[in-house]
Amino acid sequence: MHKVYLRPIALADSPQSEEGEAVRLAGGLTYASRFALIERREGKMVRRKRLSANDLNDLPDDAQVQLEDLRKAHPPLRCGDRTIRLDQPQVMGILNVTPDSFSDGGRFLDDPDVANAHAAAMLEAGAAIIDVGGESTRPGAAAVWEGDELKRVVPAVERLAASGAAISVDTRRPAVMEAALAAGAHVINDVSALRHDPRSLEFAARSGAPVVLMHAPGEGEDLHGSTGYPDVVLDVFDWLAARRDAAIAAGIARDRIVLDPGIGFGKSIGENLALINALPLFHALGQPLLLGVSRKRLIGALANEAPAHQRLGGSLTLALKGLDAGVQILRVHDVAETVQALRVWRGLRDAALTDFAQLPV
């Protein structure tokens, strides 16, 4: 099978810094000035050609579609009465109501007051969405009985809904999706990309809720299983394209699909880093992107095995890499620090757009 890919390989702070020779990615604040046109046959790269922004007028049909998707501006996500704009980056705060989270260690499961205070602090710090999860998906975590997941998730969602928050539910099970949406959640965030249960696609389509589809190579309970990647970047790209198409075929509106490359799921440290470096390519899928790298194992591996609660510096570094790549949603534990980094990043971008305004004509 022959496939082509149009990968942005040089980013610019503003279009005027490239004298207009730049493509705005996904209607956001990131611009690409050079691209690689990649051809792959039977899973192997056979050709790579470097192009400038002015060389994009005579592309193969598939690459032309990808160029249009790279340029595609995304409408806001509707979360009840709240509107989450996607023309600028947003922060999703993590609320784990599990006993065995790799990061929180069950802190928010047994004491609703502590969980409420943490969620309120994340919202006050600038989180646009709170992501509630009742099952740990770290490597080696035990499977959770559906009834236990419901008992953990639904009360947390009800409390958040009473505060007027935009809420996503991090689950693989349609019964939990249904109960959480009924309790006031707005977004389905499924780390199995609606594969874990054959009923999930149908329910998600019927619900009309926005969905986040994440790449995870494993099947069943083991999402981390992997048989290796001939090219992790292009393989994950193709996999997400297939899940996007399956969701659309099932009746999920395209403007309600968000994609996540699944950093840390069934990938080596090198493969995770390759994906992060290639994030701009994933705009060619034509969907908003979510990046979840907060406190993940790869940070510890690169930083003297720092434990999860000491990975803030690495988390912010990867978050800023995502912002530079034009990612629309950052899923994080440390909301206040990430929002501060985002605001400074945004200030730099806004300044870059006016840097040339005072130059003489």
**Sign of the four-CA dihedral 307, 262, 289, 107:** negative
Contacts of 255 (CB under 8 A, 6+ apart): 74, 75
- Nearest Cα neighbor of 157 from 192, 174, 182 is 182
**DSSP 8-state class, residue 19:** T
How many Å apart are CA 251 and CA 57, to the nearest integer? 33
Active site annotation includes 321: no
Q: What is the distance between the alpha carbons of residues 97 and 108, in angstroms, rounded to a whole number?
A: 5
Single out the catalytic residue among 34, 296, 311, 349.
296
Rounded CA separation 206/101 (Å): 31
**Would residue 49 show up in a list of annotated catalytic residues for this protein?**
no
CB 327 within 8 A of CB 335: no
Q: Active site residue: 331, 343, 346, 349, which one?
A: 331
Alpha-carbon gap, residue 267 to 229, rounded angstroms: 9
Per the CB < 8 A criterion, the answer to whether 315 and 332 are in contact is: yes
Q: Look up residue 254 and give its DSSP letter.
A: G
Closest CA to 265 of 291, 286, 241, 287: 291
In the structure encoding, which two tokens stand for residue 270, read together? 């090198």
Spell out the residues 6+ positions from residue 344 whose beta carbon is closer than 8 angstroms to its own.
Answer: none
What is each CA distance from 277 to 284, 287, 329, 335, in whole angstroms?
15, 18, 17, 23
Active-site positions? 296, 331
